[in-house]
Amino acid sequence: MASFFKTFFAVLLAIFTLITLSIMIIVMVASPSSDEHTEVEDYSILHLTLEHEIIDRHYENRFHLDMSTFQPIKKDGLNFILNQIHKAKLDPKVTGIFLDLKSPMAGLATMQEIRDALVDFKSSGKWIVAYSDFYSQGAYYLASSADEIYMEPEGLLEFKGLRSDVTFMKGLLKKIGVDVQVIKPKNNKFKSAVEPFMLDSMSEANEEQLNKILNSIWGHIAQDVAASRNMTLDQVNTAVNELASRTSQTALDAHLIDGIKYRDELVELLKSKSGTEEDEPVLVSLNDYSSSAVKDFIDLEKVFAKDKIAVIYGLGSIDMGEGDEESIGSDGLAKQISEARKDSSIKAIVLRVNSPGGSALASDVIWREMTLAKKTKPVIVSMGDVAASGGYYISCNADMIFASEMTITGSIGVFGMIPNTAGLEEGFLGLKHDGVKTHQYADIMDIHRPLRSSEMEIWQGMVDHIYDDFTGKVASGRSMEQSSVDSIGQGRIWSGVDALGNRLIDAHGGLDEAIAEAAKRAGLTEYRVKNLPEEVDPLQQIIKDLTGQAKANPLEMLSREDAKLFRMVKQYQEVMEMKGVQMRMPFLLDIR
The residues assigned a catalytic role are: 191, 389
Sign of the torsion angle spanned by Cα atoms 231, 232, 237, 243:
negative
227/413 Cα distance (integer angstroms): 37
311/531 Cα distance (integer angstroms): 5
AA identity, residue 288: D
123/128 Cα distance (integer angstroms): 11
181 has which bridge partners? 418
208/25 Cα distance (integer angstroms): 54
For 246, other C-beta atoms within 10 Å of its C-beta total 14
314/387 Cα distance (integer angstroms): 10
For 577, other C-beta atoms within 10 Å of its C-beta total 8
- DSSP codes, 148-198: EEEEEEEEEE------EE----HHHHHHHT-EEEEE--TT-TT-GGGHHHH
AA identity, residue 307: D
Q: How far is CA 164 from CA 194, 314, 568, 571, in A?
A: 16, 25, 14, 17
533: cis peptide before it, omega within 30°?
yes
DSSP 450: P
For 25, other C-beta atoms within 10 Å of its C-beta total 13
Quick one: 440 exposed, middle or buried, by C-beta within 10 A (0-12, 13-18, 19+)? exposed
Spatial neighbors of 106 by CB under 8 A, at least 6 apart, are 50, 53, 54, 78, 114, 138, 385
Cα Dmax for the chain: 88
Residue pair 511/82 in contact by the 8 Å Cβ criterion? yes
101/246 Cα distance (integer angstroms): 18
Q: Strands 582-584 and 357-359: what pairing? A: antiparallel
Residue pair 168/190 in contact by the 8 Å Cβ criterion? no
The torsion angles phi and psi of 231, rounded to 5 degrees, stand at -120, 165
DSSP 486: H
589/592 Cα distance (integer angstroms): 10
Q: Strands 379-388 and 346-355: what pairing? A: parallel
- DSSP codes, 306-359: SSEEEEEEEES-EESS-EETTEEEHHHHHHHHHHHHH-TTEEEEEEEEEE-EEE
Spatial neighbors of 438 by CB under 8 A, at least 6 apart, are none
SS3 220: helix
